[in-house]
Amino acid sequence: MQEHKKTFLGIGWKFPPTFDKKSRSVVMVSEDKDIQESLFILLATRPGERVMLPQYGCDTTSLIFETINTTSLTFLQRLIERAIKYYEPRITLESVNISTDEMLDGKLLIDIHYTIKTTNARSNMVYPYYILEGTNLTRNQNFD
């Protein structure tokens, strides 16, 4: 098993789960990386997917085919804020910003800024939220 010197912020599995062939064990992460992995898992999990924690997750999939406007972006932002505040007690959420710069490519970038409570260290992560199911779409494609 991998040894971690600093563990006061927790240790968890790397996401997606990865296995080390040499040690025949699950690759683990700790500290800031564990928090980022936990946030990624939280945002990628739909409520109801976890049997023992049926409310765990963030129902971002309900917005996949919605029109992107101020209302839907604000709703998405509030969903994310609520999930993080409820399920990630190791951090203080500073802000959630959603960038629509890549919207025509079917992607929103969710920029999460937070402070780790025990170390008072500021950090952030960017979560890519894909809003289009199709993979062969182009910006100027005609749908005649």
pLDDT for position 142:
44
pLDDT for position 19:
83
pLDDT for position 144:
41
- Global pTM? 0.76
pLDDT band at 63 (very low <50, low <70, confident <90, very high): confident
Where are the extended beta strands (E) located within the chain? 11-13, 19-20, 25-26, 28-30, 91-99, 107-116, 121-130
Q: What is the mean pLDDT of the chain?
A: 83
Evaluate if residue 69 carries a pLDDT over 60: yes
- Both tokens of residue 64? 């996949």
Q: Are 3 and 23 in contact (CB under 8 A)?
A: no
Instruction: Map out the domains of the chain with their CATH numbers.
Output: 11-129 (3.10.450.40)
Percent of the chain topping pLDDT 70? 82
